[in-house]
């Protein structure tokens, strides 16, 4: 046997040895965490520095990569990877993967979101992806509606239709996040889902206010295996990304740990206001079926939140975001078979939840703290509850079609 044939035999034997018992090659699991900025500086810069600190501290051999889309105030936007570098001052560096021309991919639109996320994933092919989306959020509320945060109270004071020509008008700002850009460019939930729906996601961390809305999550349920969300507003500091990245480095699947770290941080801070939940999307259809059964049950009675003390998670004069479980318990006996089925399914759907004793809101009285006595991890709008202008839009949601609409 000559040297060439011997080398071929060695290579063949090596390949056979690498095959598992079933004779098929195994692909090593690779993981990428994408951090998308729609908040802007300085808050997002702090988020990135925190994530970089976790990268700097990671142990050798960790194959999880962290990529960032950074929306800059000046110059072109960037995609870069956070890379451990002991020679760098902070122990990590930002390895630029793409610099967009000034003004390119600057708008907050479905096309921009799809293009940027597509670029990020092309730079980092992987078997598993996580996505953190930092933005302002308003739950299921459509972009045709504006909410006036300074409204003091009364009937429908905070909700009004936003004329087409005013959709880019600047809105009052505060510490909380909405589902818009700082320039008040708006993106509907369906548009967001369409923009990133071509790809599979292990989890999406919504660093946005009010994304614990069951209506919003039901609309997006096909996007990811799990969502990490908040029922109330999220302070502009957002999630603590040093903790987030350390968690996924240690155990990619420890989403409950990410959520717990978030609430623990704010619980011990000077602004002790936070809510969080981890939602398993595969269970949302079964949850909708349970809620539908309750609404069609002889034991269900209509609920008027103006007369019943139902837990809410906003500071609006006419509340929009009510705790889902508290809403249901006010309309049907907790001893009923329908409620017990719902409660069991809710536990399967919300796999982790936590909250501080209070939440704060930039709506109504800024800085006011509201008590939290019930937190199921999901919120729901209560139809025909005094916010009539919302009803035509609410009837267009997938959740309304699934649980309220007569089939």
Q: Which three-class secondary structure state does DSSP give residue 47? A: helix
Q: What is the pLDDT of residue 33?
A: 98
pLDDT at site 27: 55
pLDDT-derived band at 260 (thresholds 50, 70, 90) equals: very high
Q: How far is CA 155 from CA 176, 237, 314, 318, 398, in A?
A: 24, 32, 15, 6, 27
Contact 156, 404 (CB under 8 A): no
pLDDT tens, residue by residue, 34-62: 999 777 677 788 899 999 999 999 987 77
**Helix segments in 102-230, DSSP class H:** 110-123, 189-196, 214-219
pLDDT bucket at 12, cuts 50 / 70 / 90 = very low
More confident residue, 166 or 401: 401
3-state secondary structure at position 167? coil
The number of CA neighbours under 13 Å toward the Cβ of 214 is 28
Domain 31-281 falls under CATH 3.10.50.40: no
247: closest CA among 102, 92, 50, 385? Answer: 50
pLDDT at 3: 46
Residue 389's closest CA among 216, 160, 162, 188? 160
Strands 159-161 and 145-147: antiparallel
Q: What is the domain partition of the chain in residue ranges? A: 31-281, 286-348+372-403
The pLDDT, as a whole number, for residue 20 is 43
pLDDT in tens, 324-359: 999 999 999 999 999 999 999 999 999 999 999 999
245 pLDDT more than 90: yes
Rounded Cα gap, residues 180 and 313, in angstroms: 19
The pair phi, psi for residue 176, each rounded to 5°, is -100, 170
What span, in angstroms and rounded, lies between the C-alpha atoms of 145 and 129? 33
Query: Contact at 8 Å (CB) between 109 and 116?
Result: no
- Say which residues have a Cβ less than 8 Å from residue 385's Cβ, sequence separation at least 6: 303, 304, 305, 306, 318, 319
The pLDDT of residue 23 is above 70: no
From residue 191, alpha-carbon distances to 12, 142, 216, 356 in Å are: 50, 11, 12, 32
The structure's pTM equals 0.87
């Amino acid at each position: 046997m000559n040297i060439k044939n011997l080398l071929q035999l060695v290579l063949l034997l090596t390949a056979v040895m690498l095959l598992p018992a079933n004779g098929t090659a195994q692909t090593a699991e690779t993981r990428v965490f994408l951090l998308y900025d729609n908040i802007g500086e300085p808050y997002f810069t702090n988020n990135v520095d925190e994530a970089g600190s976790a990268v700097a501290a990671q142990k050798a051999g960790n194959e999880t990569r962290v990529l960032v889309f950074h929306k800059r105030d000046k110059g072109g936007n960037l995609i870069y990877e956070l890379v451990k570098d002991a020679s760098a001052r902070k122990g990590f560096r930002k390895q630029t993967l793409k610099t967009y021309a000034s003004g390119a991919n600057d708008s907050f639109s479905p096309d921009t979101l799809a293009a940027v996320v597509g670029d990020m994933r092309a730079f980092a092919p992987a078997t598993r992806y996580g996505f953190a989306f930092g933005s302002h959020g308003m739950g299921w509320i459509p972009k045709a509606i504006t909410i006036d945060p300074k409204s003091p109270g009364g009937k429908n004071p905070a909700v009004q239709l936003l004329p087409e020509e005013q959709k880019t008008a600047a809105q009052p700002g505060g510490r909380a996040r909405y589902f818009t850009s700082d320039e008040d460019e708006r993106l509907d939930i369906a548009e967001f889902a369409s923009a990133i729906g071509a790809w599979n996601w292990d989890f999406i961390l919504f660093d946005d206010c009010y994304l614990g809305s069951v209506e919003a999550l039901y609309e997006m349920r096909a996007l990811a295996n799990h969502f990490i969300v908040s029922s109330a507003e999220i302070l502009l500091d957002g999630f603590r990304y040093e903790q987030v990245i350390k968690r996924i480095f240690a155990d990619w699947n420890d989403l409950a740990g990410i959520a717990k770290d978030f609430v623990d941080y704010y619980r011990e801070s000077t602004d002790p206001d936070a809510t969080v939940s981890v939602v398993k999307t595969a269970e949302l259809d079964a949850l909708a079926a349970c809620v539908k059964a309750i609404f069609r049950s002889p034991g269900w009675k209509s609920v008027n939140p103006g007369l019943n003390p139902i837990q809410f998670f906003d500071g609006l004069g006419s509340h929009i975001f009510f705790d889902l479980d508290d809403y249901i318990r006010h309309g049907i006996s907790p001893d009923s078979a329908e409620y017990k089925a719902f409660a069991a399914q809710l536990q399967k759907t919300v796999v982790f939840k936590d909250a501080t004793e209070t939440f704060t809101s930039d709506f109504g009285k800024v800085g006011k703290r509201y008590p939290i006595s019930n937190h199921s991890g999901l919120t729901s709008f209560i139809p025909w509850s005094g916010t009539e202008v919302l009803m035509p839009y609410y009837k267009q949601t997938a959740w309304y079609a699934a649980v309220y609409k007569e089939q």
